[in-house]
Amino acid sequence: ETGVTQTPRHLVMGMTNKKSLKCEQHLGHNAMYWYKQSAKKPLELMFVYSLEERVENNSVPSRFSPECPNSSHLFLHLHTLQPEDSALYLCASSQASDTQYFGPGTRLTVL
Amino acid sequence: QQQVKQSPQSLIVQKGGIPIINCAYENTAFDYFPWYQQFPGKGPALLIAIRPDVSEKKEGRFTISFNKSAKQFSLHIMDSQPGDSATYFCAAKRSGAGSYQLTFGKGTKLSVIP
C-alpha cells in the first residue's frame, strides 16, 4: 500500500449506531487530518493531529471523536450521527505543515 | 478573512480549449496557494502550487497566474483533454510551523468534450 489509505470506502449507518473510520498513511509524515466534504461546500477541516497531539479542532460536534494512536494511523469514531452528517470524509497527511496528501475518502450515509 | 472564492462553479470546454478557473482571497497572510484535482471516487490530489514571490508557474499543461495586488490567482489548462474532466479546488494557507489550516474554494467541475 502506498500513500494514504482509508477504510471502509463506503459506510451506511443508522442514527443510533457506533462506527469508526480508519486512515493509514505510508508516507512517513508526522501530521494527519480529517476533512468533511459535502456537495457544493468547501472542504471543511475537522481535526488536525501533529506528532499524535491534537492541534486543531474546528468546532466539530462531540458525536465525532478522533483518535491518533501513532503517527501513521488516525481514526474517527462516530456515534449518534444525524442525516446531515452524510458526506465524504477525507483523511490527509503532511510533513509538519507542508503539502497535504489526501486519501480516497469514506462515503458515509446516515439513515 | 478566511474565505477563498472560486469561480465558475462549472465549466464545459471543447477538447483543445483553455479552461480558466479563478480564485480570490482576502487574508493577506496567505502565502501558499495550491490547486487540487479530484476525480469521482478519489480524494483530491495536488496538481500545482505557487507562492506570491512569482507571478506565474507552469507545470506541463497547467499554469497558475498570480496577482498579489488584486489578491487573485487562476489556473489555466492548455490543450485540455477529456482526461482533464474533474473537479478543481483552489486553496490557500499561511506557511510556517504550526500553520495547518488549508482554506479551500468550493470547487469547479470541469467537463472537456471530445
- Per-residue pLDDT tens for B91-111? 999 987 778 889 999 999 999
Q: Is B86 helix (H, G, I), strand (E, B) or coil?
A: strand
Task: State whether residue B49 sits within 8 Å of chain A by CB.
Answer: yes
- Nine-digit cell string for B63: 499554469
- Asked whether the beta carbons of residue B4 and residue A4 sit closer than 8 angstroms, the reply is no
- Asked whether the beta carbons of residue A102 and residue B96 sit closer than 8 angstroms, the reply is no
State the pLDDT confidence band at A41, using cuts at 50, 70 and 90.
confident
Q: Mean pLDDT throughout B62-89?
A: 96
pLDDT at B1: 53
- Asked whether the beta carbons of residue A56 and residue B106 sit closer than 8 angstroms, the reply is no
Long-range contacts of residues A7-14, Cβ cutoff 8 Å, at least 24 apart: A7/A106, A8/A106, A9/A104, A9/A105, A9/A106, A9/A107, A10/A106, A10/A107, A10/A109, A11/A106, A11/A107, A11/A108, A11/A109, A12/A108, A12/A109, A12/A111, A13/A78, A13/A81, A13/A108, A13/A109, A13/A110, A13/A111, A14/A110, A14/A111
Q: Which residue of A24, A56, A102, A106 to mutate against B (max B Cβ within 10 Å)? A: A102
Q: Mean pLDDT throughout A3-12?
A: 96
pLDDT at B32: 93
What percent of chain B is modeled with pLDDT above 90?
Answer: 86
State the pLDDT confidence band at B72, using cuts at 50, 70 and 90.
very high
- Asked whether the beta carbons of residue A97 and residue B42 sit closer than 8 angstroms, the reply is no
- Kind of pairing between the strands at B20-25 and B86-92: unpaired
Q: Is A67 helix (H, G, I), strand (E, B) or coil?
A: strand
